Amino acid sequence: MSVLSRPLRSIVLAPALRGARRFQQPSLRSALPLLNVRFAASSVSGRPGSQTIEHARQNVKEEVGNSLTDWARSIAGGVFTVDSVKPVKDSFIGITTAVATTVPTPYLVMGLAGGLPYIASAGTTVYLSYQAGLATAGTLTNIDPGVALTILDQALNFQVTYGAVLLSFLGALHWGMEFAGLGGYKGYPRLILGVSPAVIAWSTIALQPTSALLCQWLGFTALWYADNRATAAGWTPKWYSQYRFYLSILVGTCIIGSLAGTSYWGPVAGHGLLSHDLTLIREERKKYKPEGAGVVAGDIEAVEGDPTSDAYVVVRHKFKQNKDAN
């Protein structure tokens, strides 16, 4: 190798070799930016991660909105392949509004009207639970605790009975759809779906009121899920699943409110307070409010019947008895 070529090699090849070494063995400082970029990217959505608080707020808002949209589609039974259901905006409000506008007004009005007695019964149950709690605690002394609990028990039975009627009616709608051939004749599957809620509702009447309400809540929830699947399969009108969802929310809220009220404010007659406990409560109340006793002036008196009488208590005229004695 000549002397002239040696400087040329050192001038031209040395920088290239040094560059190759740097490429083969990158330093940790040069790799950190690459690691940061990879960690900041989202492998699920393919979108950049949150770099600031504003980015995080925007991402959370979009994810919640997407979740609510998917939820609205699930509630409606996924009926958006039908041309008549086209939401103006692909959001929870847009989808809910699009389906709600297709519900015929008479069906909506009568459905809500049918829920009013159930709302009234639930409100009455909660109020009577509060009154029964005061009576058993001795705070409310103008009503006997046994009477208060009996009235509460009757209110619960009324709510259970009306709930059984509602559950049976909602199941019977499927028989009407089968008779009309809505979505085609399905035969036994739809007929069994229609009669099952009536069997469940009938069996709850034999249970204690609170247990019956819990079983009815499960029945309403299961029936809505079946209605949701039936709507997706084309067995019902396209608005039926969402219509049933809000009716189920109404009934479910009333049931939960009644159970919460009876559990929080006091026991329920029949399974929370025994007759022995009622006797103790009544005796305790007599210490604070003794029963009145005395003689009431007048011409009529009630006395205990003697062995020759045909009644335990004899009501007679005082002056007439005195004349007979004389």
pLDDT confidence of residue 266: 65
The Cα–Cα gap between 114 and 17 comes to 87
3-state secondary structure of 182: coil
CA distances from 214 to 115, 121, 162, 280 (A): 18, 16, 14, 31
The answer to pTM > 0.85 is no
Q: Where are the beta strands (DSSP E) in 67-137?
A: none
- Per-residue pLDDT tens, the chain, 326 aa: give them: 444 444 544 544 555 445 544 445 544 444 444 444 444 445 545 555 556 677 666 666 666 656 656 655 666 555 554 445 555 555 556 566 666 677 888 888 898 899 999 999 999 999 988 888 887 776 766 777 778 888 888 899 999 999 999 999 999 999 999 999 988 899 999 999 999 999 999 999 999 888 999 999 999 999 988 998 898 888 988 888 888 888 888 999 999 999 998 888 866 544 444 555 666 666 766 666 655 556 667 777 778 888 787 888 888 877 665 555 55
Check: CB of residue 269 under 8 Å from CB of residue 249. no
Provide the token pair at 10: 């050192």
Looking up tokens 């509460």 gives 152
The Cα–Cα gap between 184 and 83 comes to 20
